[in-house]
Amino acid sequence: MTRRNSPLSDIQQPARQAAAHPWVEKLARFGFAAKGIVYFVVGLLAAQAAFGTGGRTTDTSGALNTIVSQPFGKFLLALVTIGLIGYAIWRVVQAIFDPEHPGKKTETKQIAQRVGYGFSAIAYSGLALTAIRLIMGNSSGGGDSTQDWTARFMAQPFGRWLVGLAGLVVIAVGLSYLYQAYKAKFQRHFNLQLMSETERKWTKRLGQFGIAARGVVFSIIGLFLVLAALRANANEARGLGGALAALAAQPFGPWLLGIVALGLIAYSIYSLIEARYRQIRQP
C-alpha cells in the first residue's frame, strides 16, 4: 500500500526547502545585521541625549536620516537597505512557512506567530522604502507616521475600537518580550555548538537586556495607542521616538532613558550576533 504524506509533512517540506535556500539564508543574516545597525543608531542617539552629550530621541526612520547624513552616507544606507529588504523577505518566509517551528506549536499560537511575522515584514518593507527615498534624495517627511496611521484608522467605522485593540495587542507584545527576556528561551535559535562559552554567556546577557528594553518601549507605545483611542485624539499616539521622549519627560527621565537606550544598544549587538550564529537552516 502506498503511504500518503500527511498535510503537515506537505507543509514542512517546502518550509525546510525555503529556509535552506542559500540566498534566503544570506539575506536573512544580512537582514539581522542591518536591523542591528538601525537599532544601534537609535540607541546611541538616545544615550547621548540621556547623558547630555548631544543626540536626540528618534525612531528607526530618524536613524536612517542620521546614516544618510554621514560621509559616504548614501552608500552606507544602500547596504542597510539591502539588509532591510532581506530581513523583510525572511519574515515573509517565516509568515508563510514558519520553518523554525514546523508542527511544534498549537494551531492558535502558530497562527499568532505567523501574523506577527507578517506585520514585521510589512514594517521593515516600509522602512526599506523610506531608506530608498532618502538615497534618491527625497525627504522621509517630518510628520509622525504613527499619528498619521492612527488618524486614518480613527476615521473608519469603529476606528477608536480598532486603535484601542491595536494598543492592547502592542502592550501584549511588549509584555511577551519582557517574558522572553526573563526566560531567555531565545537561545534555542542559535547554533550554540559553534559558540564559545564566553559568546554564549554574553549572547544571553545582551539578549535579555536588549529584548527587555524593547518590551518596555512596546508597552509604552501600546499605552499611548490606548490613550489615543480613549481620548479620540490621534495626536496622543506615539511611535518609538515618542516613547523614548516620554521616558525622558518622567521623573529621573535621563536615568530611565539612559537605561533603555543602553538596552537598545545591547539589542543591536544581539542582532549582530544573530547575523552570525542564528540557526536559519533547519536539519
| pLDDT-derived band at 3, boundaries 50, 70, 90 | very low
Kindly report, residue by residue over 59-97, the tens digit of the pLDDT: 999 999 999 999 999 999 999 999 999 999 999 988 887
pLDDT value for 99: 66
Condensed to tens digits (0 to 9), the pLDDT of residues 221-265 reads 999 999 999 999 998 999 999 999 999 999 999 999 999 999 999
pLDDT higher than 90, residue 177? yes
**Would you say residue 14 has pLDDT above 70?**
no
Residue 89's closest CA among 31, 135, 36?
31
C-alpha cell at 279: 540557526
pTM of the model: 0.88
Helices and strands: H and E segment counts in the chain: 10, 0
| Domain definitions of the chain by residue range | 13-277
Determine the Cα–Cα distance for residues 84 and 139; give it in Å rounded to an integer. 19
Q: Which three cell numbers stand for residue 175?
A: 509584555
C-alpha cell at 32: 539581522
Which one, of 230, 186, 189, 233, lies nearest residue 206 by Cα? 186
pLDDT band at 8 (very low <50, low <70, confident <90, very high): very low
Q: What are 232's three cell numbers?
A: 479620540
Query: 257 with 57: CB under 8 angstroms?
Result: yes
Residue range 117-174, pLDDT digits in tens: 999 999 999 999 999 999 998 765 555 678 888 888 888 888 899 999 999 999 999 9
Tell whether the model's pLDDT for residue 28 goes beyond 60: yes
pLDDT classification of 24: cutoffs 50, 70, 90: confident
